[in-house]
Amino acid sequence: MAVNIHLEVVTPEKIVVSEEAQIVASPGSLGEFGVLSGHTPFLTTLKTGMIRYTDANEKEHFVFVSGGFAEALPDKVTVLAESAERRSDIDLGRAKEALERAQKRLAEERAREDIDFNRARASLERATFRIRIAGLS
């Protein structure tokens, strides 16, 4: 039987995940990383992306995260995210609307100089990941 670790994904508003996991994979700012029980402790920043984890019953779960930090300890992974949503909580229609708005803003960038390109690109990235995660089975 696999030894589990405790996973917590927390935003400023709520606890998104608090459960036992066999393995956790997260989008670190320097690349994706995986954590198993007994992992060497470390702290890293996160980029926008997807946390994947396998629960104690070997079911795979997906969580959208937008920035933040992750701390890995031998028996626990804590993610402090700017925003996070379980796959089942993602509103696909709303995510598609956000994608269209971001694409429109980026297209307007060529015509206007007052558009914040980095902000529009970050919106596009968040919407794209949310749509991708919502479509996972």
The per-residue pLDDT for range 20-35, each reduced to its tens digit, is 999 999 999 999 999 9
Number of separate domains in the chain:
2
β-strand pairing of 42-46 with 60-73: antiparallel
- Considering the domain architecture, whether residues 17 and 73 belong to the same structural domain is answered as yes
Residue 103's CATH number: 1.20.5
Q: 3-state DSSP call for residue 12?
A: coil
Its domain, for residue 18, covers 5-88
pLDDT value of position 124: 79
Say what the pTM is.
0.80
Q: Over the chain, what is the mean pLDDT?
A: 88
- Considering the domain architecture, whether residues 70 and 98 belong to the same structural domain is answered as no
Q: Which helix (H) or strand (E) holds 22?
A: strand 15-28
Q: Which two structure tokens, joined as six digits, stand for 81?
A: 């995210």
- Considering the domain architecture, whether residues 80 and 98 belong to the same structural domain is answered as no
